[in-house]
Each structure stands twice: as structure tokens, then as C-alpha cells.
Structure 1
């Protein structure tokens, strides 16, 4: 009894039980078959019981408090006799002790497993809430969840799926031991909207399968690579953010009841950590935007006002100057100040744009098109906006305006090659004009202040923001 209960490793404990039973009864063949709810397996001594010759045999159930843990099998006594009452009594006593030992072993294993999953969930939270050097992007956060989940579940693949704009869910982060070809196929792979698996996940319910490749609920071609699988909803505050897929290879042990419970708890903790990390990034972005707004206000309230005052002083000095060359030089300085003020205003507009991942507004697209033409024109065009351009111009008109701007800049650059290129080009987008037919409209004007190229004008009536 001391020998059987001295090892907390389940496999070694099963071997000890079989060896001890064979030693006490003189059996040539002994094996322990497990019948617990967490999967099948066996520990044996000598040849497996399946290979034992026909003849004397003995089977004794291993149970604790009425719960069946497994069965102890014996066959083939050394002396060729049948198993007697003494053998049966010894084996029953051993089976009782074995049941207690197996129960303790399973509890120790479950405790270690829970501790490992709890530590893994804590490490995910720590990684997601680390500083910018440890957690740079949302993609990194999702990858951390996929990698940690795969390691904890001892799975071949861990993947995070998020809702797709066209329906269903798609793989946005993956960690896998499979070949690169499988990884490439799986990344950005989708679970179609009609999948029964997806309906269950959206309801906040986990999906478990012992053989995902043969599961009729799976309609995704990606399932052919996997056997035992857990699809766990990433749920926080009653909202399903996505799903965590943990997949083992075909033929691997199925996920036990304990692993399913711990995996579900890990997914819930990971969802909370993802929400916290997202809010943390929002606070960081907000701090950056506040700094940009402060810089924009300083440029507008201090720098532009001082430049404007300097320009007024120079204008006064030019009117009083008597020598033509002095007046001409002052005029050039005033023009340069005006151009500088316009460039600063353009910079202020750029500082006030939204985050990089947000769809760019019309102002941002116009500035981007102007900057892209700098090499062709020999200088960056000056851009001026009149009225609430982003608010008034619908998406369809905005695309047409940007296309017209590109054509105009190309035409100006092509018509004035080499040294005769215009030193300065002025682009004006006015969302406050009234068209000849009386309708409100938006007008684009591209002109050269020195008159080296005739002005190019494009205009269109304003529509609703929906673009109807």
C-alpha cells in the first residue's frame, strides 16, 4: 500500500499497481484500464493484457465511494493454477488502495493543471497591460492570447478569431506547430456565417469536438487538419468579442472535462484582458491627440500671429521704402511669410487628423495627394480649405475631387518641365460655394500665383453624407 500510494504521477502509479498485483498473486500478466471521465488509457506490467494467453484470469474494479476509476486485470499464474480466494482478497484490498491512490493522483494532477492555467492567464494579462515596448499593437495582444492558449492546452494550434465585416469570423492571430503552408492557409481563414459552430459561439457557448475534421457542425475547410478541438467564446460584459480556437492533431488525446473548464475560464480572462488592453491603448492615443491639439493651438495662437504681425510690419516698411530694389525685396519677404503661414496651417490640419487606423477624411486625402506631387512639381503645393470640408462633402464626391486633383497636378507638372516649373502652386478646396444653378457645392481650384499656368477648376453639387 505504501508503494502504490508513494507516486503522484498517474502513469507511474498505474505501473506500480500492475507490478504490485502481479508480485502478490504470481500473475505473469497484469494491466490497469482507466475508466474515468477524462479519457481512456492503461498502465501495465510485462506483456499487455490483450496479449495474455487464454486461461486463468481475474478482473477487479477499482472504485472509490462508488465511482469507477478503472479495472485491474490479471492473467496467467506462474504455477499454472487458477486464482484462489486468497488472490482475490489480496487484489480487492490492493484495488481499494489503488482507487485511493488514483483519486489522490488525479487531484494532484488537477491542482497542478489549474495552477498552470491560472499562471498562464496572469501572464497574458501582464503582457497585454505592459508598456509600449512590450505591447505595441492590438495584433500583438491577440497573438499573445493565441500563443499562451496553445501552450496551456498542449495543442498544435491556437488561433484568435474576430467578426468579419461580411459575416462570419476570420482568423486574425495564430500560433501553430504545423507547417508554414497550413499556417498561411489558416491565417485570415473564415468560419462562414451559416456555420452551426458560429451560431453557438455568438450565443456565448463553447464548442467542443473530439474529431473536428469529421464533425458535421464544421463547414470550414480548415477543420480537416485537426482532431480534438475547443472553440471558446471571448466574452466580456455579456458581449462576444470573438473566439479562441485550440486544436490538437487527429489521434491526440481528447480534451478532458477539466481542460474544457479551464480553457473556458482562460478565454473569459483573456477577453477581459483584451478589453483592458484596448482601453489602455485608447488612453495612450488620447494623450497623443491631446499633445497634438496643444501643439496645433500653439502654432495657431503664437507662431502664426507673430508671423502675421511681422508681415504687417514688412508691408508698412515696403510702402515707405523709396528705392525700388528695397520694395521688391520686402515684397518677396512678405510673399515668403504668406507661404510659411499657409504651410503652418497645413501642418495644423495634419495634426488634427484622426488616428492612423481610422479612415482618412477628405482633408487628409487632399494633403496626401498634394504631398505626393511634390517631386513632379519641384515644390510642395500650398493647400487651403474653406468651410467644413469633411462634414459637408460626401464620400463619392470626395473620391471624385481627389481624382480631379491628381489629374490637375499631373497636368501642371507635365506642362511646365525643367526650370520653368512653377515655384509655388496653390490648391483651394471650398465647401461653401453656390453653383450657377443655385445649389450648394464644393469647388476645387488649382492655380499658379505667377500665372505660368491657367487655373484649373472642378466643382460638384453637395450631396448628403450617405452619398445618395
Structure 2
């Protein structure tokens, strides 16, 4: 092969190599890095939002505000068509429903007992840390289309269940994880708020009982004390209606002694007999109980309460040394949350304090009655032994003076004086008899609607 001719000024430089085109794999790697960065940025933003919402939930101590906050936090973390928080009691029954609808309105739903009973079996599938898919028809309307149930728990105790309607395409794994973390934080917050509320309410019950027992009840009659107690129970138990019955009817029946609240005057003629389930159950158990006005249609008392739109009922028997001395019933409007264990325990403690105060009132009334009888007896004895005897002796003296007088006019006047003295003696003997026969009226009077 012949070598190329050389240039007069030197060798000819070689032609530059062609620049290689970017490999397709490089563009893919850059795109993946950008996508991963966007995902990491979105995840960081959601984690920050989760931390902020969890902190806001944990700081809340008011139960109503906390329930609404949990539903709002779920919507902030995940775009949900609708979400409902079903609050449970210690027995797993639904006691309150808080929902956020498509119009971004959060509020409590009326609690229908039939709906609450239909929700309980489906909500039982929710376990701590594991979302439960609910098929269509598992829950009653308006949740009959199904959804996901997430347990709001403290340790292993399920305090509430978050029902979420899944968005189009369902919940992603990250969405479920965020809701599960929120449920765990909300469970701790619910437990703290419940303990705080329980402590606050116990303090209010005990303070009210101490004030009534030590001071207020000591200066009123038994009838006035019943009204004061009914007012305290109405305030502390957050009840719309309170009624108190005391023995006073035929065959030991209970008659209304105080009625307070909405349309309470309708109970003014409701007499409870001992065989009424409302009274019989309280006597058999020997303690208070939680009832619903529609649970026992055979009870005249509960039927009367149900006619006044009363649902949850708290029944508190008042017992003393002589047995049942009264029955106190507190009711809330139908659809409101039922009374809890704390309401029952503290109301029983409160009524126990009040029962002792009422016993002191009765003892004081009996002492006053005995003192009045003793005063009457002393007055009657003094009238008989002193005044009557003095009048009789005066009458005899005037009679002797009349017999010794020779003046006809004087004798006639003296005989008139003797007649007046005899009339005074008869009236005095009648008064003495009445003092010994009459009994002071210290029995408790029936108090009508207040």
C-alpha cells in the first residue's frame, strides 16, 4: 500500500472522531431520578402533614372537638369522598357518629338505636393495625356501599372505628399506612381525653355532693331537698329531664315529688307502683341502672318518658334505713349519647351522699316533732295545773262572796262572774285537750313541677 503524500509544512493531521450520540439508558436514569425525587418530596410533605395532624389530635382534650378533629385529619391526609367516626363504649356499642360529607361539613349524626345495632357487627371486623374491607351490604344505610374500617385503638382496646369511603381506584398502601398511624395517635388522644373528662366529671359530682350534704340540705325541708337534688342531677348528668318519686300512694306506690326539664309537667300524675319494671328492677338490683325508654314498654314510667321524646335513662333508687325512700330518673332526648359507666357510678355515689343528708333531715324533723310534742304537753300541763286550778279557786271564792252578800244586785253580778269563769274553764279544758291530741304537720309535702 502506498503512503499518502506528505504536506510541505508537515504531516497531515488525522480526521477528528465523530461525537457519539447520548445513550437512551441515560435519559431513562435521569427521568427515574426526577420521579424518585418527586415521590420523596411528596412523601416528605405527607409525613410532615401526618406529624402536624397527629400533634393537633393529641393536644385536644375536649372529646367532641377531638372526634371532629380525627375526621378532618383523615380528609387532610387522604382525599376521601366521605368519612365517619363511630365512637364505641366499653361494650362495643356505637354511642356517637361524627361524619364529614362531600360538602366538607363535619357534625354529629342522630343516633338511631336500630342503626347503631346494625353497625356493631360490621365494625367488629376492625382490628388494631389492620384495615378491614367491608363488602357492600355489610353495614346499614348510608354505609351500605361498603368501604374500609380502621380501628382507632389504645393498645388493644378499640375505642372508635373510622369508616372511610374509598376514592376512585381504591386506597393505596401509603394511604392505608397514613390512616393506620393516625388511628393509633387518635386512640391515645381519645384515651387521654376520656380520662381527663372522667376526672373532671367525678370532681364535679363529688363537689356538688359535698356542698349539698354539708350545707344546703341542712337548712331546707325534705321536699325542698328533693328539688335541689333533682336540679343537681340534671346539671351534672347533662339531662334534659329529671323526675323524682317518693312513697306516698296507696299500697306503697311512688308519687311524683319533683319534675324538672322539658315538658316535665306531663309526669305530674304518673304514679309508679311497686310491680312496675322500673321500680321492681331497681329494688331487685339494689343499685342504679342504665335504661332506654323504649326497652321496657310494660313500664308505665318508661312509657311516659318515651312519650316525652326521652331515650337514654338513668335510674337511681334512693334507699335509707327504712328501705326505698325515693326513685330518681334522669333522661336525655332520643338520639343523644347514652349515659356511661362514669355517669352511673358517680350518680350512685352522689345519691348515696344525698341519702345520708336526707336521713339527717328526717332525723332533725323527728327531733323537732318530739320537741313540739313535749312543748305542747308542758303547756297543757301548766294550763291544767296552774291556770285552770287558779280559775277554779277564783270561781269558788266568788261563789262564797256571792252567798255572803246581802245586796241582791251584788249577788247577781257575782253569779255572772262565776258563769263567765265556768265558760273560760270549759274553753281552757278544750284547748288543753287539743294540745294533747293534735300532731304537728311535719310530713314531706309533694312538690309539683318546678
Same fold (TM over 0.5): yes
Which residue of 291, 295, 304 corresponds with 1:222?
304
Identify if the C-alpha distance between structure 1 residues 95 and 28 changes in structure 2 by more than 3 Å, giving closer, same or farther. Answer: same
Structure 1 counterpart of 2:95: 40
Tell me, in whole angstroms, the C-alpha distance in 2 between the residues paired with 1:276 and 1:188. Answer: 29
* Residues 253 and 272, structure 2, Cα contact 8 Å, conserved in 1: yes
Identify if the C-alpha distance between structure 1 residues 24 and 203 changes in structure 2 by more than 3 Å, giving closer, same or farther. Answer: closer
Tell me, in whole angstroms, the C-alpha distance in 2 between the residues paired with 1:335 and 1:122. Answer: 63
Tell me, in whole angstroms, the C-alpha distance in 2 between the residues paired with 1:202 and 1:24. Answer: 53
Structure 1 counterpart of 2:293: 212
* Residue 196 of structure 2 corresponds to residue 108 of structure 1: yes
Name the TM-score, length of structure 1 as normaliser: 0.65
* Residues 395 and 418, structure 2, Cα contact 8 Å, conserved in 1: yes
Please give the secondary structure, in 1, of the residue aligned with 2:250: coil
Identify if the C-alpha distance between structure 1 residues 52 and 357 changes in structure 2 by more than 3 Å, giving closer, same or farther. Answer: closer
* Residues 169 and 192, structure 1, Cα contact 8 Å, conserved in 2: yes
* Residues 247 and 254, structure 2, Cα contact 8 Å, conserved in 1: yes
Tell me, in whole angstroms, the C-alpha distance in 2 between the residues paired with 1:264 and 1:161. Answer: 16
* Residue 259 of structure 2 corresponds to residue 175 of structure 1: yes
* Residues 9 and 105, structure 1, Cα contact 8 Å, conserved in 2: yes
Please give the secondary structure, in 2, of the residue aligned with 1:173: strand
Instruction: Spell out the pairing of 1:316-355 with structure 2 (5 A cutoff).
Output: 316-355=400-439
Q: String of CA shifts for 1:378-424, please: whole Å, max 9, x gaps.
A: xxxxxxxxxxxxxxxxxxxxxxxxxxxxxxxxxxxxxxxxxxxxxxx
* Residues 129 and 276, structure 1, Cα contact 8 Å, conserved in 2: no
Greater Cα offset, 227-236 or 39-48: 39-48
Tell me, in whole angstroms, the C-alpha distance in 1 between the residues paired with 2:415 and 2:145. Answer: 115
Greater Cα offset, 161-170 or 295-304: 161-170
Identify if the C-alpha distance between structure 1 residues 128 and 217 changes in structure 2 by more than 3 Å, giving closer, same or farther. Answer: farther
Which residue of 65, 87, 106 corresponds with 2:155?
65
* Residue 350 of structure 2 corresponds to residue 266 of structure 1: yes
What is the CA distance between 1:208 and its match in structure 2? Answer: 4.2
Q: String of CA shifts for 1:118-162, please: whole Å, max 9, x gaps.
A: 23333443566333xxx2x43323333333333332333322223
CA RMSD of superposed structures (Å): 3.3
Tell me, in whole angstroms, the C-alpha distance in 2 between the residues paired with 1:353 and 1:105. Answer: 63
Identify if the C-alpha distance between structure 1 residues 238 and 4 changes in structure 2 by more than 3 Å, giving closer, same or farther. Answer: farther
* Residues 61 and 72, structure 1, Cα contact 8 Å, conserved in 2: yes
Structure 1 counterpart of 2:268: 187
Larger-gyration structure (1/2): 2
What is the CA distance between 1:294 and its match in structure 2? Answer: 2.7
Tell me, in whole angstroms, the C-alpha distance in 1 between the residues paired with 2:72 and 2:83. Answer: 7
What is the CA distance between 1:73 and its match in structure 2? Answer: 4.0
Name the TM-score, length of structure 2 as normaliser: 0.68
Q: String of CA shifts for 1:438-466, please: whole Å, max 9, x gaps.
A: xxxxxxxxxxxxxxxxxxxxxxxxxxxxx
- Name stretches of at least 5 consecutive residues in structure 2 with no aligned partner: 1-53, 107-140, 444-450
Please give the secondary structure, in 2, of the residue aligned with 1:108: helix
Tell me, in whole angstroms, the C-alpha distance in 1 between the residues paired with 2:369 and 2:326. Answer: 23
Tell me, in whole angstroms, the C-alpha distance in 1 between the residues paired with 2:144 and 2:373. Answer: 80
Tell me, in whole angstroms, the C-alpha distance in 2 between the residues paired with 1:343 and 1:59. Answer: 88
Structure 1 counterpart of 2:64: 11
Identify if the C-alpha distance between structure 1 residues 166 and 288 changes in structure 2 by more than 3 Å, giving closer, same or farther. Answer: closer
* Residue 326 of structure 2 corresponds to residue 242 of structure 1: yes
Instruction: Spell out the pairing of 1:93-104 with structure 2 (5 A cutoff).
Output: 93-104=181-192
What is the CA distance between 1:297 and its match in structure 2? Answer: 2.7
Greater Cα offset, 80-89 or 66-75: 80-89
In the comparison of the two structures, how many residue pairs are matched?
349
* Residue 370 of structure 2 corresponds to residue 286 of structure 1: yes
Structure 2 counterpart of 1:200: 281
Tell me, in whole angstroms, the C-alpha distance in 1 between the residues paired with 2:359 and 2:185. Answer: 49
Identify if the C-alpha distance between structure 1 residues 289 and 260 changes in structure 2 by more than 3 Å, giving closer, same or farther. Answer: same
* Residue 169 of structure 2 corresponds to residue 88 of structure 1: no
Structure 1 counterpart of 2:234: 150
